[in-house]
Amino acid sequence: MAAVPVLACVARYAAAPARPDGAAARDGGKHDGWAQDAYVWQRQWTPAVTRAIGDSAAGVRAWHVLAAELDRTGQWRDSRVADGPLPSPQRPVVAVFRMDGRLADVDADVLARHVATRVEAWTRQGWQVAGVEIDHDCATSRLADYGRFLDRLRQAMGGRHALWITALPTWMDAPVLPDVLSRADEVVLQVHAVQDPRLGLFNAARAMRWMAQFARLSPRPWHVALPAYGSRVIWGANGGIGAVESETPAMMGDTPDHDELVADPADVARFMTAAQDAPPRGFAGWVWFRLPTGDDRRAWSPGTWRAVMAHRPLTYAMQTRALRDAPGLYDIVVENTGDIDAAPPGTIRVDGACRGAGGRGGYGLEYDARGPWLHRRERMLLAPGVPLLAGWARCDGQGPDVHAGP
């Protein structure tokens, strides 16, 4: 077996922010004094979801659990959560109700009845339901109507639970926004996946500007939704978005015209550090989207998520090798030997007396005057300890030398 290690670069991303008042990290989902909640967005709970809740409970203050979705036709789709108590019964739950942004009208009394049904069922299971959250991508032009809807909903709920809402950066130019936000008890500002997918899933500089602007507008305590996931955007024939795959497949088969969007854990960790070092007025903490599980292929690995939450130093290290698979045939393998999900090398040069080569696993084959090389065609994150078959080469002698680059 020929094994040629060629890349083991280590860079540490320190993420140990300190609050201005010097508050120390505490249990119960608070690190350095800042609350950290998490969305449980899976529509059907598998054993992996239940296990992830139990494994991550120490770092989470409250779970924001998707209770039901109201689709564009006005039909409810309830999530199928596990029976019985949560694996972390000491953590409160915020029941989230997702409303399709294309809905023309929603009866607040009808919604309140559905909220009451779901909350009562969860309470009987022993869940500590502390709030109700409305996730509605309302058109900016209809924000005034949305504010009146929230008033009616609060009245229909009878003040039994705190009312949360999500807010979009696109709303911030609307003069009516502060009035709408005042109808809620808590607000979650979404700073990921809110613009054209061509601009990426998350941009730290843009998110920081949105936080500063939102701080001047919100009369309520507010949180920021952070991404711990990726998405696959499938483009339609007309150049528009055909579908988006994230926590559930779009069932469109192998479509060549797509882009993988990822939120880099190191970028998010640095963003958290900067925001917590100089927190904007009213900022109350983070809400992670979404809870990573062992079988969620587009979320961060659970270990990476918990490391970023706890502000632990993050180590990046990649190793690229040529491993003999058969006489004259070699697999080109990349392995993440660090402790953080990270992008594998952008290029892999294949040097040697090779008679053929090919790319796999998101890599494509290119040739130049020096010979074959592999080019990573997709954005991706590789979890620690997970080998990636990036390509193959058919070579004479001792096999190829492989050299990874950015």
> What is 236-259 written as a DSSP string?
-TTSSEEEEESSS-----S-SSEE
**pLDDT tens digits, residue range 104-149?**
788 888 899 999 999 999 999 999 999 999 999 999 999 999 999 9
pLDDT tens-digit readout, 162-180: 999 999 999 999 999 999 9
pTM > 0.85: yes or no: yes
Instruction: For residue 100, give the amino acid letter.
Output: D
DSSP code string of 156-197: HHTT-SEEEEEE-GGGTT-TTHHHHHTTSSEEEEE-SS-S-G
**Of 63 and 159, more confident:** 63
Q: How do residues 292-333 score in pLDDT, each as one tens digit? A: 998 888 899 999 999 999 999 999 999 999 999 999 999 999
- CB-based contact 7:404 (threshold 8 Å): yes
The average confidence (pLDDT) of the chain is 87
Given the DSSP bridges, would you call strands 186-190 and 222-227 parallel, antiparallel or unpaired?
parallel
Strands 93-99 and 63-70: parallel
Which residues 6+ apart lie within 8 Å of 239 measured at CB? Answer: none
Maximum alpha-carbon separation in the chain:
78
CB 252 within 8 A of CB 189: no
- Rounded Cα–Cα distance for residues 287 and 290 (Å): 9
Which range of 68-82, 212-226, 246-260 scores highest in mean pLDDT? It is: 212-226
Q: Which residue has the higher pLDDT, 339 or 249?
A: 339
Using alpha carbons, select from 168, 183, 253, 257 the residue that is nearest to residue 213. 168
Q: Which among 227, 386, 223 has a CA at the least distance from the CA of 305?
A: 227
pLDDT one-digit tens code per residue, 74-103: 899 999 999 998 988 889 999 999 999 888
Could you tell me which of 128, 131, 91 has the C-alpha nearest to residue 115? 131
- Residue 207's alpha-carbon distances to 41, 70, 189, 268, 316, in angstroms, are 22, 28, 10, 10, 24
Cβ neighbours of residue 318 under 8 Å, at least 6 residues apart? 7, 8, 9, 334, 335, 336, 337, 338, 342, 344, 345, 382, 404
Top-confidence residue, 16 or 193:
193
Instruction: Calculate what percentage of the chain has a pLDDT beyond 70.
Output: 84
More confident site: 41 or 398: 41
3-state class (DSSP) for residue 37 = strand
What is the rounded distance in angstroms from the CA atom of residue 213 to the CA atom of residue 197? Answer: 22
pLDDT for residue 89: 82
Would you say 344 and 382 are in contact if contact means Cβ atoms under 8 Å apart? yes
Cα of first residue to Cα of last residue in the chain, in angstroms, is 27
